A = this chain, B = another copy of it.
Amino acid sequence: MRGKQPTIWDIAIKLNVSISTVSRALRNAPDINPETKKAILDLAHQLDYQPNTVAASLRKNKTDIIGVMVPEFVHAYFPNVILGIQEVANAAGYKVMVMQSSESLDIEKHNLQAMVSSRVDGLILAITRETNDYDHIVAAQRKGLPIVFFNRIVDELQGSKVMVDDYTGAFTAVQHLIQTGCRRIAHLAGPENMTIGRNRLNGYLDALKAHQFPLDETLVMHCDFVEGRARKYTQLLLDRPDRPDALFAVNDPTAIEALICIQENGLSIPNDIALIGFSNAPHSTFVTPPLTSVVQPIHEIGQLAAQLLIRQITTPQQFTPEIRILDTTLVIRQSTRPLVG
């Protein structure tokens, strides 16, 4: 930004008042004459004055910026929660600064540094799939940076967290597969160090157990959110003589990879293999057949995370970490068999 921008100084001089008065007028403080205030506001408008927030931030020791870091945003999930975040953040007078770590721990560290250097007032964070030590995050927290976690939750970190009821969601999904006649159900799983992976796995396991299904550990494939792995592992499953007749995927992108693989093998969904995803990315409705999926309230996750963070920022003294668990619902489409009876 090259061209000199007008400052409160310019306004003050032109109106023969002090900069204090101008400042008072601009952020409508009480101690000011309505007339002078109007004059200042008019001139400010006429000059198209835009306050220099970086100066204000320095002085106030507060940037009114909320940082958001997500592993990626080419799939629909994260953009949608960011939508929710922006909604409540903007309403509360905060700007939102989005960064993506591209599932890389190094970039995550680097971005985190940039965030604290930029003195964001708080951070909403979904860690990388490869984030396995948390020193950088703890260090930032110790510096006083409020962080709320979502989606990629990990027990080792403390702070507010918003998550969904992964266990029940998974349980219901697998139960539905069982009730529609599936007998060998495989799981394309997420990373086990995250609750998102562990809880969905446990829901899967417990649903099998509840229906007296034998446990076959070779049926859980750890795709761990890495692109392309679901496709490979699905192929492995299809090549087995005791091929499964259903797949429960840890999320929709994983499910869609599986779907493509299944169809490439000339198998039909759901007759040969039933398929359930998790997340309900919008385009899970576009694929053929439309994907049965465990829907989470994506938008609400973002809103809630922002609310918790803002509360922590504004009233830090009475802050205690809060863990919020939102409900999921199973949306049945055509990638699973119809319920008989």
Contact = CB atoms under 8 A, between A and B. Distances in A.
Nearest to A113: B50
Given A48-B143, A74-B76, 14 more contacts: A1-B120, A2-B316, A3-B144, A5-B143, A50-B113, A54-B63, A55-B58, A73-B82, A74-B83, A95-B99, A95-B118, A283-B287, A286-B286, A288-B288
A27 to B, nearest CB: 13
5 contacts: A1-B144, A5-B144, A50-B117, A53-B119, A260-B286
Interface in A51-81: 51-55, 57-58, 61-63, 73-74, 76, 79-80
A76 B283 CA distance: 11
A324 B87 CA distance: 34
Nearest to A289: B288
A139 interface: yes
A119 B73 contact: no
Interface string A208-221: 00000000000000
A10 to B, nearest CB: 14
Contacts of A282: 74
Given A76-B74, A287-B288, A86 B100 contact: yes
A64 to B, nearest CB: 10
Given A58-B55, A139-B48, A114 B86 contact: no
Contacts of A122: 1
A301 to B, nearest CB: 14
A309 interface: no
Interface in A281-306: 282-283, 286-288
A137 to B, nearest CB: 13
B143 A1 contact: yes
